[in-house]
C-alpha cells in the first residue's frame, strides 16, 4: 500500500505533482515509520525513493551513511534514488559520485551508485573519472563492474541513450581492458529491433554478489511509435545469500534429519586450523531479502523476506514434505472450454454476411511427487487438444441461396512423459538433477480441411 501510494503521488499522469509542503509532510511520516517498524524498513526506504522529489535525496543519503543499518539497507537506499536519476535531478550526480569514491562504504553500496550513475547523463568529465578509476580501483569486482558498464553503454544502439552512448564511447579507450566473468559483478545492456522494424526492444541485466549483499536486476523495455514503456522490471536483493540457500534446503530437507559427522573425531578441521592460527570467524549479516517487481509501470509489488518469514516457510515446507511427498502426492489439472464469436453484417448491396468461429479445447496435466531419503522424484505428463470451426456465409436475397466457405481444423499435442530426480548429498553438500524421458513417444497432430457449401433456404 505504501509503495503504490508513493508511486501515484509522484506520477504526473495519474494526478498533479504534490507541493513541497505535502511532500515534506509525507517524507517525515515515512521516516518515523522506519524507526517504529524495523521489519518493514526496506519498504519505507523504497517508498521514500518513489516520491521522486529532490528532497528525498538527503533522506536517502542519510540512510546510506547510517552505521546502524546493515549493508543490505544501505545499498537499498542507493537503489531507491532511481527516480531522481530518471528525471535528471541535478543533485543526484554529486551524491552518487561521492558514494562511489567513499571506500569506507560496502562494495555493494558503491556498485549501486555506479549502476545508477551511468543512466543519469553525468557529463563527459564524470565519465572520464569513471573510466580512469578502473586502473586504480583496489577491488577487482568494482573495476569489472565499472568497465562493463562503460563498455555496454558505449556499444548501445538504443536511440534513447544515444547522448550517453557518445560520452561512454569517447572514454572507452581510457577504461582498463577487463574480461567479464560470469561469477563476478557486471552490468550489461542490449537492444534490437523486431523483424517488422516496428518495435525496439531493450534489455538490461546486472549482477553483483558479495558475502554481505547480492543483487540480480533485470529490465525489459520496448519503444514503439515514439512511446517508451518498461514492460517488466525485477530486482532480487539478499544479504547473506548462503543463509538463504541453507534456509531453502531446510524447507525440503530438515537439518535435524541429516546425519552429520562429529567434528572432534576429525584430526584436521577448520575449527582446529582457526584455533592454531588464531583466526576469527567472519560474522555474516542476518538474513534479509526482498523481491521487487514492476509491470508496465502500473503494478508494483515488493515481497520482504527475513528470518520470521523463512521460519513460517520452513514450517510449511516440513508439513508439505511429511504429509505429502513422503507418502506420495499426485496432482491433476483438467479443463475444457470453448471460445467463440459471431459477426453479422450487411454489404453495401444489401447481402447479409455472417462470420462464425468456434474453438473448443481441452487440456490435461498430471504431476506426481515422491520423496525417498534424500531424493525427490517428479513425474509429469501433458496433453492438449483443440478444434477450430470457422465459416463465412453470404446469402442472396433474390435466390434464397446461402453460399458458405470455411475450415475445420483439429490439433492434438501430447508431450513425452518425463521424470526428474533431485538428489541431495549432505556429506558433500551437492545437489544433482537428472531428467529422463519415460518414453520417447511424442505426438503432434494437425489436420485442417477447407470446405465450401451451397444450400437453399426454404421459408415456411
pLDDT beyond 80 at 81: yes
* pLDDT, tens digit (0-9, with 9 covering 90-100), for 62-80: 999 988 888 888 999 999 8
Q: pLDDT, tens digit, for every residue of 423-446? A: 877 777 777 888 888 776 667 788
Pairing state between β 430-437 and 200-209? unpaired
- Between 422 and 427, residue with greater pLDDT: 422
**Residues of the chain above pLDDT 70, percent:** 84
Query: Regarding the domain delimited by 2-314, which CATH topology (the fold level of the hierarchy) does it fall under?
Result: 1.25.10
Q: What is the pLDDT of residue 10?
A: 38
Residue 8 has pLDDT above 50, yes or no: no
Residue 28: per-residue pLDDT: 85
Percent of the chain predicted with pLDDT > 90: 1
Q: Do 109 and 115 meet the contact criterion of CB atoms below 8 Å apart?
A: no
Q: Which CATH superfamily does the domain covering 328-456 fall into?
A: Lipovitellin-phosvitin complex, chain A, domain 4 (2.20.80.10)
Q: pLDDT (tens digit, 9 = 90+) per residue, 31-50?
A: 888 888 788 888 888 888 88
| β strands within 306-374, DSSP E | 329-346, 352-372
Report residue 311 as a C-alpha cell: 521460519
Instruction: Check pLDDT > 60 for residue 268.
Output: no
| Residue 179 vs residues 112, 127, 160: alpha-carbon distances, Å | 20, 20, 27
C-alpha cell at 37: 517498524
Which uninterrupted H or E stretch holds 454? strand 443-456
Summarised one tens digit per residue, pLDDT across range 146-179 is 898 888 888 877 777 788 888 888 988 898 888 7
Residue 270 is predicted with a pLDDT of 63
- Nearest Cα neighbor of 210 from 181, 234, 240 is 240
pLDDT of residue 13: 41
pLDDT at 442: 64
Where do the domains of the chain lie? 2-314, 328-456
Give yes or no for residue 189 having a pLDDT over 60.
yes
User: pLDDT tier at 269 (50, 70, 90 boundaries)?
Assistant: low
Give residue 281's pLDDT band: very low, low, confident or very high (50, 70, 90).
Answer: low
Residue 253 — pLDDT band, cuts 50, 70, 90?
Answer: low
In 3D space, the residue among 436, 402, 434, 432 whose CA is nearest the CA of residue 417 turns out to be: 436
More confident residue, 257 or 90: 90
Give the H or E element holding residue 455: strand 443-456
∠ at Cα 54 (46, 26), nearest 5°? Answer: 55
Per-residue pLDDT, 257 = 47
Domains 2-314 and 328-456 share a fold: no
Dihedral (Cα; 174, 178, 180, 186), 10-degree rounding: -50
Plot region of 429 (φ>0 → left; ψ -120 to 50 → alpha; else → beta): left
Q: What is the DSSP string of 216-239?
A: EEEEEEEEETTEEEEEEEEEEEEE
- For the beta carbon of residue 430, count every other beta carbon within 10 angstroms: 9
Average pLDDT estimate for 396-422: 83
In this structure, of 167-176, 178-187, 270-279, 316-325, the range with the lowest mean pLDDT score is 316-325
Amino acid at each position: 500500500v505504501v509503495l503504490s501510494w508513493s508511486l501515484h503521488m509522484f506520477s504526473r499522469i495519474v494526478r498533479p505533482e504534490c507541493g513541497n509542503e505535502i511532500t515534506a509532510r509525507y517524507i517525515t511520516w515515512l521516516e518515523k515509520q522506519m524507526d517504529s517498524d524495523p521489519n518493514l524498513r526496506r519498504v519505507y526506504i523504497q517508498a521514500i525513493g518513489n516520491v521522486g522529489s529532490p528532497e528525498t535525496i538527503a533522506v536517502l543519503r542519510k540512510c546510506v551513511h547510517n552505521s546502524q543499518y546493515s549493508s543490505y539497507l544501505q545499498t537499498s537506499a542507493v537503489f531507491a534514488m532511481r527516480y531522481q536519476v530518471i528525471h535528471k535531478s541535478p543533485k543526484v550526480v554529486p551524491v552518487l559520485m561521492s558514494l562511489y569514491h567513499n571506500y569506507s562504504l560496502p562494495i555493494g553500496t558503491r556498485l549501486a551508485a555506479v549502476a545508477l550513475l551511468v543512466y543519469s547523463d553525468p557529463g563527459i568529465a564524470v565519465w572520464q573519472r569513471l573510466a580512469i578509476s578502473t586502473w586504480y580501483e583496489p577491488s577487482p569486482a568494482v573495476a569489472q563492474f565499472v568497465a562493463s558498464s562503460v563498455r555496454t553503454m558505449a556499444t548501445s544502439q538504443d536511440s534513447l541513450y544515444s547522448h550517453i552512448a557518445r560520452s561512454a564511447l569517447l572514454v572507452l579507450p581510457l577504461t582498463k581492458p577487463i574480461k567479464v566473468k560470469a561469477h563476478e559483478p557486471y552490468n550489461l545492456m542490449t537492444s534490437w529491433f523486431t523483424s517488422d522494424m516496428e518495435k525496439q526492444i531493450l534489455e538490461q541485466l546486472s549482477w553483483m554478489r558479495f558475502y554481505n549483499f547480492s543483487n540480480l536486476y533485470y529490465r525489459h523495455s520496448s519503444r514503439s511509435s515514439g512511446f517508451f514503456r518498461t514492460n517488466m522490471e525485477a530486482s532480487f536483493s539478499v544479504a547473506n545469500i548462503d543463509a538463504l540457500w541453507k534456509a531453502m534446503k531446510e524447507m525440503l530437507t530438515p537439518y535435524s534429519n541429516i546425519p552429520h559427522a562429529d567434528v572432534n573425531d576429525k584430526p584436521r578441521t577448520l575449527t582446529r586450523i582457526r584455533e592454531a592460527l588464531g583466526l576469527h570467524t567472519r560474522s555474516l549479516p542476518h538474513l534479509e531479502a526482498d523481491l521487487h517487481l514492476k509491470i508496465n509501470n502500473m503494478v508494483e509489488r515488493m515481497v520482504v523476506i527475513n528470518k520470521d518469514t523463512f521460519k513460517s516457510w520452513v514450517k510449511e515446507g516440513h508439513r508439505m514434505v511429511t504429509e505429502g511427498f513422503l507418502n506420495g502426492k499426485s496432482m491433476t489439472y483438467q479443463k475444457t472450454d470453448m471460445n467463440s464469436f459471431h459477426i453479422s453484417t450487411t454489404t453495401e448491396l444489401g447481402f447479409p454476411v455472417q462470420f462464425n468461429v468456434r474453438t473448443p479445447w481441452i487440456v490435461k496435466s498430471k504431476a506426481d511427487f515422491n520423496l525417498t531419503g534424500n531424493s525427490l522424484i517428479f513425474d509429469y505428463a501433458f496433453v492438449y487438444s483443440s478444434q477450430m470451426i470457422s465459416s463465412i456465409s453470404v446469402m442472396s436475397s433474390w435466390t434464397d441461396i446461402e453460399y458458405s466457405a470455411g475450415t475445420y481444423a483439429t490439433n492434438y499435442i501430447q508431450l513425452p512423459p518425463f521424470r526428474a530426480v533431485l538428489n541431495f548429498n549432505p556429506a558433500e553438500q551437492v545437489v544433482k538433477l537428472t531428467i529422463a524421458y519415460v518414453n520417447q513417444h511424442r505426438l503432434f497432430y494437425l489436420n485442417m480441411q477447407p470446405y465450401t457449401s451451397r444450400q437453399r433456404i426454404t421459408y415456411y
